[in-house]
Amino acid sequence: MNNSKANLSRRKFIKGAGASSVAAVMGTSFSANAMENNPKSVYEEIYGDDVNSIYTKKGTSPGPKGPIGFEDRKISNSEIAKSYDFDVAVVGGGIAGLIAALKAAEDGAKVVLLEKMTKGRGIFECFGSVDSRTQREANIKTNKAELLDEIHRSADYRIGPDVVRTYVEKSGEATDFMEKMFNKGERGVVISPMPLKPKYPNTGAPVIDAECMFYNTPGLPKNVKFRSGFVGVQIIKDLANTAMKHPNIETKYSTPAVQLVTNGSGQVTGVIAKENNEYIKVNTNKGVILASGGYDANPEMMKAFLRPEDYSSASWWNPSWGTTGDGHMMGLKVGAAMDPVPHSVMNFTFGSPESFHIPAVRTLRAMGLYAIVNDEGKRFVREDVAFQSISNATNRQATQGKKSWLLFDDTMISKNKDIFDKAIASFETLKAKGWLFEGNSPRELEAALDVPNGNLVNTIEKFNSFKLKGVDADFNRDMEFAKEFNGKKYYALLCNSVILATVSGLIIDENGRVLNEKGEAIKGLYAAGNASGDFFSGNYPRHIPGTSIGRAITFGYLSAKHAVKGA
């Protein structure tokens, strides 16, 4: 009896007949607002009969809205304006998609690259890799067992062993392929190992040497660090340019993929997309690779699959909004298994109420010196722990309506006079927005912040005594990397958790093949990067070097390799 509603929704979903399953086509390429007016969204119905709703109060997801490509309805043959034949179709022109398209093309396949937006998403500066050429030449010996162990531990052992082991074993090979593509490109992109700072930031977790960077690329501005948008855009531009010129690749921008095509036995044989406002069908004989990224720009999907506290009080730092989970939905619709909910989000601390505290991050000396307090002037987390953990603690405060504040004094701002002066100048804007308060003493700052009498003064005194003793009796922060508060000016800067991406997705095997719920590969279907899963649980573990871009490169490469040549 209590199953009847679920049965109905399952049937509705499969037949694509119910009101909630018909994506309203808005005379555009996208069905952006399709799910808006439905009492129950397609994201909640996607599991069909076996849904077990976990009781949680929904939040509102205040983040940006991207244009949705996925359409949950039967598109009949008569609606198809054109058909194309390719060996491989890649959905998404971000890093995973470009690497996949280039690898398949280099291996001789005829490839179409479908990108929904005018440009593929490029937001990153560094990426995880093990034993690539540049790392080998620099004599870097990654402790692979330690890296694997930390990936498993960070996922609370909720993941399978194959995907992450493959990442550790094959990311170097994939990085070397990417390097070959940069050598073909025009930008002169240089990959080099990311220098390791041995004991900073001290997260309480091992520091693992397994990351590469692009900072040595000629022509990048000097202060390029923390400019992920800038670096990523350059890298994606270069790879996209190489793809466009490749004789085996046809690139189609502003062309959202909307659904997969399967044959009678469930094999994926193509993909339907929308080009110039018309449906096109791409028939593939070797595979479709979903490289469509996460769903950080789809508020409804965020609400369906994430913990409410992870998004309700967060800000967003994600300038490319093609990431609306289309690949997840297309895969689920053909029977793919997905990471269990709640999904993992990539969240950082140091968020402003709008985005990331970019000027503050550039000017505060060693971001790790500050203390964090809530509206009551009390600490609630060890401040040297990994970003995602501070975010979680901040979000926990927010569930009770409490804001978080970074506490620092003028001795913790850069020692470089120029940077110091810039910081002080940028504080004016922050003060005007109500994000920064200051005082000539802890007492004055306490009054300015309207913290209960004595709390902030006590917190600072206690913190200083912890520094003196070398032990943080409350949160076990490593006090070696803390500084006592003894400046002339005291500041409190409003601090949010900020969302960069979502990182859970379709379950894949070590070749990037998408698996169904029985663990069998769905023929002809692959997923890579943030559209794929079985890598993270809980949060994105920011303290492990660059696994998000590292995974995207590795499985873009491996899925293309497998699609073209088999195992």
Partner 1 sequence: MLFSSKSKYSLLLASFLIMSSNVALAASSATEIDSMHQGFDTAQQCMECHGSYQENAENTAHLGKWNPHDSIHGGYVDCTNCHQQNKVEKNYCSYCHDYKPALKN
Ligand X SMILES: Cc1cc2nc3c(=O)[nH]c(=O)nc-3n(C[C@H](O)[C@H](O)[C@H](O)COP(=O)(O)OP(=O)(O)OC[C@H]3O[C@@H](n4cnc5c(N)ncnc54)[C@H](O)[C@@H]3O)c2cc1C
Q: Which residues bind partner 1 (CB under 8 A)?
A: 26-29, 32-33, 36, 64-67, 117-123, 229, 233, 254, 276-277, 297, 317, 319-322, 352, 354-356, 358
Q: How far is the CB of 118 from partner 1 (least distance, A)?
A: 5
Nearer of residues 127 and 177 to ligand X, judged by Cβ: 127
- Contacting residue, 185, 201, 308, 529, with ligand X by CB under 6 A: 529
Residue 70 Cβ vs partner 1, minimum distance, rounded to whole Å: 15
* DSSP code string of 208-270: ---EEE-TTSTTS-TT-TT-HHHHHHHHHHHHHHHHHH-TTEEEESS--EEEEEE-TTS-EEE
For residues 149 and 156, is the Cβ–Cβ distance under 8 A?
no
The whole-angstrom separation of Cα 534 and Cα 164 is 8
Outline where DSSP puts E strands in 352-445: 371-374, 404-409, 436-439
3-state secondary structure 27-39: CCCCCCCCCCCCC
> Are residues 560 and 98 in contact, defined by beta-carbon separation less than 8 angstroms?
no
Q: Is 50 helix (H, G, I), strand (E, B) or coil?
A: helix
Q: Which residues are within 8 A (CB) of 147 and not within 5 positions of it... i.e. 6 or more apart? A: 130, 168, 208, 210, 544
Shortest distance in whole angstroms from residue 224 CB to partner 1: 15
Site pattern 247..266 for ligand X (x: CB under 6 A):
---------xx---------
Choosing among partner 1, ligand X, none, which partner's interface includes residue 342 (Cβ < 5 to 8 Å by kind)? none
Rounded to whole angstroms, what are the CA distances from 102 to 174, 197, 287, 398? Answer: 12, 34, 14, 44
355, interface contact from partner 1, ligand X, none, CB < 5-8 Å by kind? partner 1
CA atoms within 13 A on the CB side of 197: 8
123 sits near ligand X (criterion: CB under 6 A) = yes
* Residue 228 binds ligand X, judged by CB under 6 A: yes
* Residue 548 makes contact with ligand X by CB under 6 A: yes
423 scored as a contact of ligand X (CB under 6 A)? no
How near is the Cβ of 414 to partner 1 at its closest, in Å? Answer: 20
Nearest to 336, CA basis, from 73, 533, 42, 161: 533
- Report the residue number, 321 or 466, with the smaller CB distance to partner 1: 321
Does 291 bind ligand X (CB under 6 A)? Our answer is yes
Q: Does 96 bind ligand X (CB under 6 A)?
A: yes
Residue 393 and residue 53: Cα distance in Å, rounded? 25
| 49 interacts with, out of ligand X, partner 1, none, CB within 5 to 8 A per kind | none
Cβ count within 10 A of residue 368: 18
Residue 47 C-beta: closest distance to partner 1, Å: 27
Token pair for 477: 């922060």
Question: In the complex with ligand X, which residue's Cβ is closer, 92 or 287?
Answer: 92
Does 326 engage in binding with ligand X (CB under 6 A)? yes
From 546, 554, 559, 563, residue interacting with ligand X (rule: CB under 6 A): 546
Select from 124, 177, 437, 526 the one that contacts ligand X (CB under 6 A): 124
Residue 530 binds ligand X, judged by CB under 6 A: yes
Q: For ligand X, which is the closer residue by CB, 463 or 540?
A: 540
Q: Which is nearer to partner 1, 67 or 442 (CB)?
A: 67
Q: Which residues contact 318 (CB under 8 A, 6 or more apart)?
A: 63, 64, 123, 296, 297, 499, 500, 501
- Interface map 495-524 toward ligand X (x if CB under 6 A): -----xx-----------------------
Buried b (16+ CB within 10 A) or exposed e, 292-325: bbbbbbbbbbbbbbbbbbbbbbbbbbbebbbbbb
Name the segment binding ligand X (CB under 6 A); options: 102-110, 122-130, 431-439, 447-455.
122-130
Contact positions toward ligand X, by CB under 6 A? 69, 91-97, 114-117, 120-121, 123-127, 228, 256-257, 291-293, 317-318, 322-323, 326, 500-501, 529-530, 546, 548-549, 552
